[in-house]
Amino acid sequence: MTRVPGSVPPRVGSGSNGAAAAGAAAAGAAAASRAGTSAAGPASAAAPSSSTVPRGPRAIDELDVLIRARYPIIYVVTWEEERVEQQLARIATTRNKKLFVWTCTQGIVRAGSEPQSSKSGSGSTSDPLAALDTILSHVEPALYLLKDFHPFTEDIRCNIATIRRLRDVAYQLRDTYKTIVIVAPMMRLAPELQKDITILDFKPPEVADFNRLLDRIIEDVKDKPQVKINLDADGREKLVHAARGLTLREAENVFAKTLVIDGKIDADDVSVVFSEKQQIIKKSGLLEYFASQEQLDTVGGLENLKEWLVKRSMAFTERAAEFGLPSPKGVLLLGVQGCGKSLCAKAVSSLWKLPLLRFDVGRMFGSLVGSSEENMRRAIQTAESVAPAILWVDEIDKAFAGSGGSGAGSDGGTASRVFGTFLTWLGDKTTPVFVIATANDISHLPPELLRKGRLDEIFFVDLPSEAERVEIFRIHLEKKSRVPDGFDLALLAKRSDGFSGAEIEQAIVSGLFDAFSHGIELDTPTLANSLAETVPLSKTMSEQLSRLRSWAQGRARPASGTIATGSTEVRRKIEL
Ligand SMILES: Nc1ncnc2c1ncn2[C@@H]1O[C@H](COP(=O)(O)OP(=O)(O)OP(=O)(O)O)[C@@H](O)[C@H]1O
Ligand SMILES: [Mg+2]
């Protein structure tokens, strides 16, 4: 569907479920603030204030509050229909209401009644219009959970009758003790419904939920002699924290899997939990789990950047948090093509021992599934669900090209809205997701990204200096199993003035081809020759480079400790 900017219906965050109310009040407050964050997308921020839901002190009871305040139709966005149903059942019991469930196969049935074959179900209400009529005709106080109703609220022509009926029902339910709760994994809402339906983001389960789940599983298997439970408080904490971001069902699956694999549950099972998270990332289709072998010592030069990164290696530990360190937000690596920006992103993942998630923004825009804004939200949620993690947004300038300025680009402002969602998240995020963005060109980047506070630092990655080039030759010769000391590295570094790391690597490869075809071993002259045959990009793009350099001066921190030679500047040819 196409969504009209600024007309997204009121969206409120929910804490997890009622049972999680056992969590500390502080956790509730944190959940509330997180929920606030997720609701603060630019589009939803623009929703009219008259229709926003007043926030109670404890976000965890949001669903209960909305029902008691008689919001007629609530749309809960979550995969976890079971948890929603459980929570509704609790609310129904305390408020003395009946709970009905509608599915398109069963029609309306009392919650908890035995599932029947779809043929014998109450077929008369399986049609959405008939179901809505039945809801209207019921008299007693009741809650109606509609599962998979979202195809009927979508903005397509054939839904026109259902949409109209829903609006009528919303109006009529206001004076009754009946509430409709639609639960669906994604939001599909026609613009006509936006004022009648309240959206609730159902937060993923919290540590307390996982603890309860683990207790239940342990209780279930404790009499089986072949199963060993070896969990001290520390191990349990690790396991439960690793499970954060999974749905309860996914967590149950993965705990069961650990039992099946080795007949025990202990702290080592954290790795099994992480492998489950890779699955989540794969399924999301927007992020790519990037397993990288690159180490920081395979990056030549860039001492300032490396030092900055090394200093923050322990920043995501509990100890650092106790010490009062905020978790780093992210960096922007700005600079010349082929100078190691992407390489650094890969290396930092192994340095910090955190999963690296590559965010393919282009694919997000091009995706046939869901709108770009929803995809952005989903990508962010996925990244947060596996936190702590590194979110690598490669070539952010190209990804969001067109999002700058008034926002009314050729795409109707989609890029700018999506980028706005990203920036809002970046500014407010409290989850330990470290963002590494890389860019070649600042002219496409909206200034908001460069504002202080969004990211921790902007590094300018220039062409390598002579000393750095020696290092880069050393690294790549070693990678090709050659002994670097057998080469005149000083000479090669001199001859490669203006070359990027990628071009040096390329020159070595073409030197290897030359040597191989001539039947000789790779040596300095062959390499010098292949350097001479290469015209580095910095020569052809010298103007762009000087523009970038002069922009970076005073605005960005140099990634290298040493200054690159200015060989690429356009030099005046004076005839003497
Ligand atoms: N400083 C460096 N040290 C070692 N190798 C390097 C360095 N810079 C670049 N390389 C080599 O060049 C390759 C390409 O570099 P990388 O992909 O990191 O460039 P980039 O800065 O991301 O460029 P682009 O802006 O085009 O994306 C690397 O995989 C690496 O082999
Ligand atoms: Mg790159």
DSSP-derived secondary structure for 317-347: SHHHHHHTPPPP-EEEEEE-TTSSHHHHHHH
DSSP-derived secondary structure for 391-421: EEETTHHHHTTT-STTS--TTTTHHHHHHHH
Fold that domain 464-576 belongs to in CATH = Helicase, Ruva Protein; domain 3 (1.10.8)
Distance of alpha carbon 443 from alpha carbon 446, whole angstroms? 8
User: Could you read off the pLDDT of 519-569 as tens digits, one per residue?
Assistant: 999 999 999 999 999 888 888 888 888 888 888 888 889 998 755 444 444
User: Could you read off the pLDDT of 126-182 as tens digits, one per residue?
Assistant: 899 999 999 999 887 999 999 999 999 988 889 999 999 999 999 999 889 999 999
- Mutating to test ligand 1, I would choose from 292, 349, 505, 560 the residue with most ligand atoms within 8 A of its C-beta, which is 505
How many angstroms from the chain centroid is the CA of residue 256?
Answer: 27
**DSSP letter assigned to residue 315:** T
pLDDT at residue 400 is higher than 90: no
Ligand 1 interacting residues, C-beta cut-off 6 A: 299-302, 337-343, 438, 440, 464, 472, 475, 501-502, 505
How many Å lie between the centroid of ligand 2 and the Cα of residue 395?
A: 7
- Taking domain 11-201, whether its CATH number is 3.40.50 is answered by yes
Distance of alpha carbon 40 from alpha carbon 117, whole angstroms? 43
How many Å lie between the centroid of ligand 1 and the Cα of residue 127?
A: 58
Domains 11-201 and 464-576 agree in fold: no
Distance of alpha carbon 81 from alpha carbon 247, whole angstroms? 10
**DSSP letter assigned to residue 298:** G
Higher pLDDT among residues 407 and 237, named by residue: 237
Q: Which CATH architecture has domain 289-461?
A: 3-Layer(aba) Sandwich (3.40)
The domain ranges of the chain are 11-201, 207-284, 289-461, 464-576
User: Could you read off the pLDDT of 46-86 as tens digits, one per residue?
Assistant: 333 323 333 333 334 788 999 999 899 999 988 889 889 99
Instruction: Provide mean pLDDT across the span 416-424.
Output: 84
Closest CA to 196 of 174, 177, 212, 176: 174
Is the four-CA dihedral 512, 515, 519, 524 of positive or negative sign?
Answer: negative
Kindly provide the b/e burial profile for residues 240-257, where b requires at least 16 CB atoms within 10 angstroms of the residue's own CB: bebbbbbbbebbbebbee
Protein residues near ligand 2, an ion, with CB under 5 A: 342
Residue nearest to atom 17 of ligand 1 (CA): 342
pLDDT at residue 497 is higher than 70: yes
- Mutating to test ligand 1, I would choose from 331, 333, 342, 344 the residue with most ligand atoms within 8 A of its C-beta, which is 342
The mean pLDDT value of the chain amounts to 80
How many Å lie between the centroid of ligand 2 and the Cα of residue 338?
A: 7
How many Å lie between the centroid of ligand 1 and the Cα of residue 146?
A: 52
Residue nearest to atom 12 of ligand 1 (CA): 502
Residue nearest to atom 11 of ligand 1 (CA): 502
pLDDT at residue 15 is higher than 50: no
Fold that domain 207-284 belongs to in CATH = Helicase, Ruva Protein; domain 3 (1.10.8)
pLDDT at residue 22 is higher than 90: no
Sheet containing strand 98-103, edge to edge, reads: 11-13, 197-201, 73-77, 178-184, 142-147, 98-103, 107-110
Instruction: Provide mean pLDDT across the span 340-369.
Output: 82
User: Could you read off the pLDDT of 290-332 as tens digits, one per residue?
Assistant: 877 788 899 999 999 999 999 988 887 767 778 888 888 999 9
